[in-house]
Amino acid sequence: MLCEVFVYSQVLTQALPRGVQVAPVEMDNVGMIAYGPGGLDELLSGWDEANGRRPHFMYTVTMGHNPTSGVLPVERRKEIYEIASKYDVIIVEDDPYWYLQYPSAAEDEARHRGLPVPATASSTYKPVKSSGYRFLDSLTPSFLSIDVDGRVIRLDTFSKTIAPGCRLGWITAQPAIIERLLRITEVTTQQPSGFVQSTVAELVMGEQPPAVRSAFAALTSRQKQTFEGWKMDGWVRWLEGLRGVYERRMNRMSSILDDGAVQLKQSTPRSVEDADWGVVSKTRLYDFDWPRGGMFIWLRMRFETHPLWMATGGKILPLIDGEKLSTALMIYATQKPFRVLVSPGMMFSATPAIRAERGWAYFRLCFAAETEENVDRCSERLAEAIQRFWRLKKVEEIEELIGDMMTAQEEAMEEGLGNLGTWMGC
């Protein structure tokens, strides 16, 4: 399975037990890389058959990527599609966040950081054919818009726009693929909850007048498939409004985290004569891009600037490396007075090698599930937790935090809860 080096963790938990080999592709701040070191073309053109057959299946989230929040531009999509066509790769495009693209992110990020607004801050994409809705036309399109081979399978869901528990969605692909998926469904899950289907249908379509219901009932099965009596205006308005709500939450969390990304330290005067002045040093604690879509912020922690980076420990922790600092900070943030839970980047690493190499350097934050007021408070507490964590200077403090993590894992296993990562994902 081809995928980005960081990928939605639940996909890995489904693929690996089935013996699926994961082939990670390098990515940048917008998504999967097509050409260059570690890119899709290099991976497929130089594939070693000793490692198994060349992959013919790709899983990707291109809109508000989970966990990195990038939005893949049209130009990059064309490059990736060209490579997929060359090597006969089926593209499974998981698109739960398509409606959650944030046009203000690039400009607001630049202004808040005192940088020039980039010329590409606003999307210039114009669809070949209008959907009839300005909001939908403004969104970066799916791989489906350039799918001339019938190799794209797009997955959509109501879970991110109506309710997480509805677990209802739809698949768009060429008829031959849909037919096989239908046959598989008939002997496995059969269908989603009928109650949920009827509830969502009523919500999206609205109650229809008796004349419309009678007219629909009188149609043949083929005619029902093209029936145009249902109105989508309200649904699109809801999606546009929802995007605005999430965009405000994203802006608030990003602004607060920006303000807390640097730690200032003033030197202690060496003598009474020096008391009137001092040297102020700045230490950057983390980096991130304001999300261009989705529900998450992807923090890259600069653990190499921590006072205990690569410090020699004791018997429990012989060396305080990046993974140990990452785990310690995650536990530290859950304690009073912070009480904030982050998702560790290690759980989104496509392979154990990526986890060990760089997964520990990242945290995923979610701004979607809380009110704007709680987003503010949680963001402030997390920023304060990181600031205070960088003031820890004793190895014993890190060892104690790691010990708390190990104890929690042992208790969770005894209670049949599995590892702690299961309640950190979404």
Claim to verify: residue 28 and residue 134 sit in the same structural domain: yes
Closest to 192 measured CA to CA, from 223, 160, 170? 170
Q: Does residue 348 fall inside a structural domain?
A: yes
Residues 6+ apart with CB under 8 A from 173: 150, 152, 153, 154, 181
| pLDDT at residue 276 in the model | 63
| pLDDT at residue 420 in the model | 46
Query: Domain with 160 in it: what CATH number?
Result: 3.40.640.10
| pLDDT at residue 419 in the model | 46
Q: How far apart are CA 122 and CA 55, in angstroms?
A: 35
Q: Does residue 70 fall inside a structural domain?
A: yes
| pLDDT at residue 72 in the model | 97
Q: What is the pTM of this model?
A: 0.87
Q: Does residue 224 fall inside a structural domain?
A: no
Three-state DSSP class for 27? strand
Claim to verify: residue 195 and residue 261 sit in the same structural domain: no
Q: Which two tokens stand for residue 225?
A: 């498939």
| pLDDT at residue 205 in the model | 72
Claim to verify: residue 95 and residue 191 sit in the same structural domain: yes
Claim to verify: residue 393 and residue 250 sit in the same structural domain: yes
| pLDDT at residue 274 in the model | 61
| pLDDT at residue 216 in the model | 75
Cis peptide bond prior to 337, omega within 30° of 0: yes
Element (H, E) at 240: helix 233-259
| pLDDT at residue 203 in the model | 78
Q: Does residue 172 fall inside a structural domain?
A: yes
Residue-range definition of the domain harbouring residue 115: 2-218
Claim to verify: residue 43 and residue 94 sit in the same structural domain: yes
Q: Does residue 226 fall inside a structural domain?
A: no
Start-to-end C-alpha separation, the chain = 21
Claim to verify: residue 387 and residue 311 sit in the same structural domain: yes
| pLDDT at residue 124 in the model | 64
Q: Which residues of the chain have pLDDT under 70?
A: 121-124, 206-209, 225-231, 267-278, 407-426
Claim to verify: residue 287 and residue 380 sit in the same structural domain: yes
Claim to verify: residue 247 and residue 104 sit in the same structural domain: no
Tally of structural domains, the chain: 2
Closest to 142 measured CA to CA, from 89, 73, 205? 73
